[in-house]
Structure 1
Amino acid sequence: MRTSHKGRLFRSLGVTLLVFAVLGSPLSQSVGATARAATAEPVSTARPSAVHGANLLADQIAPDTAPVVSSPLYQADNSWHGGTDVPGEFTFGAAGVADVDHYFYGFQDPPSTRVDANTAGGEAAVTLTPPTDGAVTLYVQSADAAGNRSPMATHHFYVRSGDGPASHWRLDGDTTDEVQLGGRDGTTHAGVSWQPGALGKAVKLGGSADHLTAPNALPTNTSFAISAWLKPAAIDDTVHTAVSQDGEVVSGFRLQVTADGNWRFRMAGSDVAGGGSEQASAVSDSTVATRQWTHVVGVHDETANELKLYVNGSLVSTRPYNGDVDTDGELAIGRAENDGVESQYWEGAIDEVRVYDRVLTDAEIRSRVESDDVRTGHWKFEAESSTTSVPNTVPGGQPATVHGGADYTDGAVGTALRLDGTDDHVVAAQQVARTDLSYSVSSWVRLDERTTEPVALASQNGSNEAVFQLGYSGTDRDSWDWTLRGSDGGAGATVTVSSERAPRVGVWTHLAGVYDARADEARLFVNGRRVGATEFGAAWHPGQNRFEIGRAKHAGTWGAYLPGAVDEVRGYGRVLHDNEVRDIVVANDVPSGFWPLDGEVTDHSARGLDGTTHGDPEWESGRSVAPEPDDQAIRLDGVAEYVSVPNAVDTTRSFSVSAWAKPERIGERRVVLSQDGNGTSGFRLELTSDGKWSFTMAGGGDSKRVTGDETAPQGVWTHLIGVHDVHSGEIRLYVNGSSAGATSYAAASGTVGETAIGRGQFGEQQEGFWQGAIDDVTLYSRELFEGEPERIAALEPDLAHKLRLNESDGETASDSIGGVTGTLHGDADFAPGRIGNSVSLDGDGDYVSTSTVDLRTDESFTISAWVYLSSQEEGKATAVSLDGANTSKFRLGYFRDINRPLGAWFFEMPESDTESARVTSAAESVRSPELDTWTHLTGVYDAEAGKLWLYVDGNRINDGTVSNTWQATGGLQLGRAKRSGVYEQSWQGKVDDVRLYSAKLPGDRIGSLYDSYGTN
């Protein structure tokens, strides 16, 4: 537009532009324009004059060619890329249209988000995250300055679900790409072989010509990551490449060992000879451990312009990278490409190669290393026919040899090896660690006596000295010790990390020693908790290495023989982090006492603390998840009955107590579990007089109590945990796996009296006798860690309600999970059931109801029950239903009509909570029900898929469809259903073990549930 007239320039404060166009005129047409301008100079109040300029050309012609869309990550091909949380860059091009001014883009048609071109007819780039997985379409249009839009460009691409790798070669004897949508199976060259791997098998390469190739795996000009477990055979002044991807001339990236023996992740700057001037490398500062598995990851972060190298989960190098190389050749395992020639062949083994078309985070890389749990050695000490050889359970691990008269005994996990403290020991055929690099050793140990001199649980030894020694200090210091020495001659630095508290004789204890070479630090863990650390910068690795269990070498002489037992000895060629040490302890779940109370009071831990009953207690059905006929619980009368066991825990240290309890009465103080002290219980897990659960510690002149807020349900199984944590200086109470409170406590004194199940002690008198049932009492000589109470208490994941219906009389049925009591109506009564008792219903007004349920029925759920049909009248009979306001949310039962004269099982859900609600499609069985026979029915609702499934006796029978979902607000009904606001469909027969789950159960879990009941 002209902004001058007859040589006069408008310096305007505001311009009014009037453009006259005629609707229906040609797409380009001359139109008149009139402008008035207010000048910046002082002016009179008179209205500015209008200036009539030349005609303007109104642009109504849209770009006639759709733009070009490209993305290095989300390419428009038939491969799967990225993920729903993985952003990618998209570039829009004008396709030669010169007046393109901007673009519109989006994942819906028409697109609405605008981005300007970098110049007229130029490009624009945006970073987008796919809105979903599967097939995705990005819609893009270009537009000129007038806003006229081009034809639509559609960029179709496929987004990978989850966050897994783009390809994964396990190399377990073949070259299959294990990713379902990967499709990049490999090919072997020059006769590769296979050997035991880090996990399963691995490929073994000889360093000359043997290697593997696979189709191009990823674009190297965008972010990506490559990982593998690597085991180099030797360092020989030659570069050896484990994984690379070919370009035209050079490999785009290489994961390799340098000639100096360091790990390296290298990327070419461009696809030219020598890699170009922007070639860059991230290199480790520590040497490679040969003949030992190491996890190595290379990451290219295109956004940050960085290369990162990780070794065994730790970031060891970060370097800037400004290259731009996109290689479209093969991915190679075991070689590289230099100047168009294959070279740098790998000598050693390679396992578990993964490629990702995105950046991996530090947490993801560490998690991968931890979950793979690759050990250098693992001796479980499970009793075998041979008493002289102990298998090493790692792939390809060599057995250890037993010397002396060592024999097997009850262990922390299964069996263990008992050593006499004189000459018994175990010699491994290999080292467990390169001791000048990071490493870790862990084991369960039982010290049977205190010795004046140090004793070794485990050591790795040079010619004269133990490089490291994990064990007991002797009575001088009376501690657990982790000792590292700096030389084989005794002249180097020696450091020892010791526990503050003395070991407890005869009790299984978990020890772990860690050396972190990057931090120059030695760390000691006792029962999963770090108890000390100290600096150690004199690490070395002797030429002669022997890993020994039960003894160590000092000044050239063997000694430090262990009197006790060892179990689950593990070695790692890396740092074990605090959470990993804790996870080992948690997974092993080693108690200091365990009494299942299944009709007897035997201790099922390795300590043999068998109990004694007092009075004449009875036995009843227990609270186990699986409906095992042999599962029982002890029932105490609340007068004088209880169980005594030998002193089980040291109350001056950390410990935890756990039990299931079912009170028969509320209103008096009743003790579930305690340990006698000097006149008063050292601890009590109890029910207070006002019906609250409580954990109390007493001693040292101080007493503290933690009490929950909720009233205990009468007649309902409740899981209780009390924890004394000396490290945090507090006691904690958990009810059904959830925290019920905590308070500070630091005055514990020792209690030497018996441990009592079902009573307490006060004023040197026994008191607080329990009235009700107790089951599965467990004690630990440590505090429980975060998440353990929930795991220990969990009956089943997602189990919201469970009516076992095992009562013998009365008008109520307890819910052992959710605490929603069922009420019997009519002549409903208890009768022999599928397991224990059941509820018997006469089909004429008998039913069981609850007031509510704790379940979202507009989301996925599962209902299961045992049913016993005594009549096959025409119509429907419902065994289990759930009330809405006007109709049942679901119905599970039996029907017979003209189309099914022999009857069928059904599971159905109305579409809405209205009187006229219809059932779109029910899941019905084909097999006809049998009279007077127990049958297990399971109904599954998958809200996401809008599907119902019916399972009969653990087998999936049929499915149905429901197109609408709604939340029911009523209670559970056994023996009837609601329809149009009226109850009907009465059940004649019996119902047993009703369970409601807040999730859709998979078929294998339903099958396992059915199998768990056993045969009739």
Structure 2
Amino acid sequence: MRKVLLVVLTGVLLASGPWLWSSAGGVWTATASAPATVAASAGFPGVPKIVTDGGPVFYHRGEDAQSGAVTSVATDSSGNSQNGTYAGPTNGSSMWWRMDDGAAATRFADASGATNTGQHTGSGMTITASPGPTGGAYMLGASSNATFAQAALSSVLSPFRADRGFTVSVWANLGDTAPTVSGTRAAVAHLTNSSYPRSDVALVADHSASCTTPPCWTFTMAKDPSTLTGVTGWDTVHGPTAVVNTWALLTGVFHAGTGTMTLYVNGTAAAPTAAHTVPVNAATGRNIGFGRYRIANAWSSYGGRDTGTGMLIGEARTWRRALSAAEVAELPVRATARWSFDEVSGTPGWTGSASSTGGGTVTARSAAGVTLGGAAALATGRTGNGLSIPTAGPTGYLQGPAGQVNTNGSFSAGAWVKLTSAAADRTIISQNGTNTTAFTIGYDQSQNRWAMRFWPSDSGAATPTVTYSAANSVVLNQWTHVAGVYEAGSQIRLYVNGRSSGTAATHTTHWASSGAVQIGRRLTGGATAAGWQGQLDDLRIFNGYDLVTATLTPLLGGIAVEEFGGLDGTTKTGHANSTAVAFGGVTNGWNGRYSSTPAPSAFTVECLIRVAPGDRGVIAGFADTGSGPDGISADRLLYVDTAGRARFGVISGGVPVTLAGAAAVDDGAWHHVMGSVGADGLKLYVDGVRTANTAVTGSASANGYWRWGGLPLPPPAGWPSEPPNPYLTGTIDELAAYSRQLTDQENLWRVYANY
């Protein structure tokens, strides 16, 4: 006897029957599967149980603890003991504003993947783009909004909790005005429950008698933010003098286990630390803000100015943990020269700093002495614009200032690159001496690997030391980060997508080269050689500093677990501490269930995603490798395409066949996405809305690895509306894969279940 399951959801009757869907000519089109008024039934099973009852091969809930290890376990909740792996540390930033959003920005992108974008606190804000220590910055001016005394910034989500360990770090510049009267302040950052009289957390320039030389930088936490009459006062660490028109990196670290507060200025800890007891009413789900804080039941100490130079806010980052002193010491590292290539047109310029560490002043963008070859031009890059050289040739280059790379000591140089032709050697960056090349970083055609060469002297007869990246690390037509490092008197080494690649080569001699820096070529006898073909973006040079670490995640980003999950929230009961995983566009998680056994032709993959406007990448897919850029095949892709829509497809007849959702999902909200293929065809569901193609009923059965958060998309597949970076910047939760095609009704149960 056929059994029919009936579930009543706020007056709407759902049943497992064909009347839920309509078709046209055998090809399914996007159709709303239920009215928007459908809500959860209190008696309906929760999503975790529905998923496990569906018999997934593996189920990654994203409830894992943070880990600083190069790899760590992604726990399987399916009951099959099929744990996966995170291909990178999972204790990354919970918010990362690079402030590279341009002059007219009203939204500030979050590079952490947590989708915690920034915004103006209110309307009528005067906020001006400016050079910052690591890239861009914004000067706070006036506000025409009566609620706000001056301009300020805030996040859309909460980046940490004040009752647990956290770190907040921000580049700040007071501008031309500092607090000069005792008791006056200029607030840089705060975490606040706005219904309470005081901020929980603040970084402030304070004119206080407790300063050695006022005004001084301080890190302060309210003893009790909820009252002015009970436990009053603040726990405060006082640091060095806050100097006008000077950049400083302020980092506040709270160790919840010991109740210890530490303030670092430019990576150096201020003494002494302060003790703090977490109050009952500490903020747990509040936004972070910049340019003001709350005291005495009112917003105060604005950093913005009506005239002159107001407070400048540069790169800002947070973590849901207390960083170690060694980690904080790495935060002030910044490029001595950065080529962002974000100009709209004309000749690109560069910004920089006198030192690769510490605070101080910033070199404004300059194109003086820069020559752009006729075959090179600005075009859409990895983020914003980039340098495009469509065809290698004598004029496909950019020439910068003389001696921009100081080769007479430790240095590092790296860029995002997209190589479009492997027919010859290619150069990313190089610099010459008088008689020979000093160093090159680029592509070696004979080895089919990335390579760094360093010549031991300025002699035409000298033979360079060379180091190569790992095999299969070069993927055409895909953005890859390539960095070369010289550790003075020791070695040269390559990093690919933030990971050490290949074997370091011993190199003990160095010398000063005075030639112009060359981007996209090297010079031999005054002529272009090994010209680049493809695109280059965000090239950075670090003089006097070698990035010899296990990973470059402090510069590139990574993975952050313990983000607020897709099942979390007041309307989704039972999951107050549900967490998810944020991916920062450079690495991924993987599961090797099918590494030695072919995956079945029919399957389903599902998860919850949250993606900020403009962010893209692969949500999940099947590849021949578990991590890294060295894959040669990709299939079963679920991704956010160039239009911001969820798209799903498989390789059929040697070419990708895909379906796209009708509406964009890059809106900062949670969405349920599911892709499947089987006897009923190829199907994509986005929040219960289905798109289908009945002509495709299976995928290739092959060995491989399920990956989520990103995977290489090697040619010649050519996935429709393929994201420029195949690694996702966004958050993933409740990822599950099945060895069968789930039904339409099973999809609806997930969308409308009581979480």
Give the structure-2-normalised TM-score.
0.39
Give the structure-1-normalised TM-score.
0.30
Q: Which has the larger radius of gyration?
A: 1
